[in-house]
Amino acid sequence: MARVVIGLSGGVDSSVAAYLLKQQGHDVVGLFMINWHDTTGTLEGDCPWHDDRVFAELVAKKLDIPLHVVDLSADYRTRVVDYMFSEYEKGRTPNPDVLCNREIKFDVFLREALRLGADFVATGHYCRKAEETLPDGRTIYKLLAGADPNKDQSYFLCQLSQEQLRYALFPVGDLLKPEVRRIAAEQGLATAKRKDSQGICFVGKVDLPAFLQQKLASKRGNVHEIFPTWPKYGPKARIPAGTPDAGQAIPAPASPGAERPEGDLHSPGGQHAADVPPTTEQLAALAAPWRYTVRDGKKIGEHGGAHFYTIGQRKGLGIGGRKESLFILATDTVQNVIYVGEGDSHPGLWRQALHIAPREIHWVNPARTMPAGQSARFSVRIRYRQPLQEATLFVRDQGAYILFDTPQRGITPGQFAAWYDGDELVGSGVISE
């Protein structure tokens, strides 16, 4: 059998993955990563990896497998955390977990595993891998959603390359979470009842402003409310069913100072009219975020720095006395202004489309690469745990545009959009704005 190096994180998923690999007859080696030492902004008050290491050691001893420890904190700070700071400073919202998998677990960690003689690297992710041999003899590695719809973690791996997938094994991908807990309990693993980790990958739960203040200074600025009656909101798209004001008209975004291009791209129910292909200009207008100025709203409070807030956020503003919660509609880190709107159905929260710059388009399955001028139907999510949304992907010289069948709440620059064909995660990209 193969020599498999597994990332033992101190959690129940990687513990059971190690057990399953050993049951399959593999030569299993545990490798524990230390990726973070700083406690600034962490809510636990100490480095969570200390406890994680203890549990990893207990599991390795129980399974009678060797455990190596490697400190990757320098790489993690440079390739994940510094990038995270840079994105927040620009008013964008990165996903450190996606970056951690692409840059650390399946790059730096992979190289460490290969030094230990690994044939494969395993993790406790709830996802699956499949292989396909093309007519020209090439092998394509496919990334599939996990069998547990409530735990599927394929989204976090949406930036993996073929070379990274080649070495990857996901032993718990065919299991449901309760089954994993049951196996851990039956085998007497110390992690059987341990809670799942939360917060930033390898950092833990954080007070985001306090964490970001390691590099980003507080800066007092104004909060301006944008009202639903803002004149540039027009009666075009529809609020998705199930929202408080479903059936009321909301607009499609337009570029600064521009009107909606002629031609209705949507039927009354919000579906894209397949027989009327949109122009690139129409797609760009639909994907453009709302652009506000302080003249468009009313000052209602102050904040400690626009770079500490994200689109769609409703907590942390400290402004009360409202019938419904205030949501962040936009941030301007240059002018240090936050724009908010009241209620989950506020038109400024919803958009029909998004844009991905050409350099940010990533095809997990290169055999599915679409050239400029093509379009295809996919199921898409723009954040972890979001139910898949039906959409059309248009590839143009200007990048990729995703046009959703129904408007989406809180499309956020810096996050990842991932598109699926059934269970297969075909590609992904960073939302440009």
Active site (catalytic) residues:
100, 201
| H helical segments located in 217-287 | 280-287
CA pair distance 233, 239, nearest whole angstrom: 13
Q: Is 151 helix (H, G, I), strand (E, B) or coil?
A: coil
Give just the sign of the alpha carbon dihedral 338, 344, 348, 354.
positive
Q: How many CA atoms lie within 13 A of 303 on its CB side?
A: 28
Question: Within its chain, how far is the Cα of 403 from the centroid?
Answer: 19
Burial 317-331 (b: 16+ CB within 10 A, else e): beeeeeeeebbbbbb
For the residues of 318-344, what is the DSSP string, one character each? -----SS-EEEEEEETTTTEEEEEEST
Q: Which residues contact 394 (CB under 8 A, 6 or more apart)?
A: 278, 283, 375, 400, 401, 402, 403
Smallest Cα–Cα separation from 317: which of 349, 293, 350, 339? 339
CA pair distance 41, 219, nearest whole angstrom: 18
**Residue 50 CB neighbours (<10 A):** 10
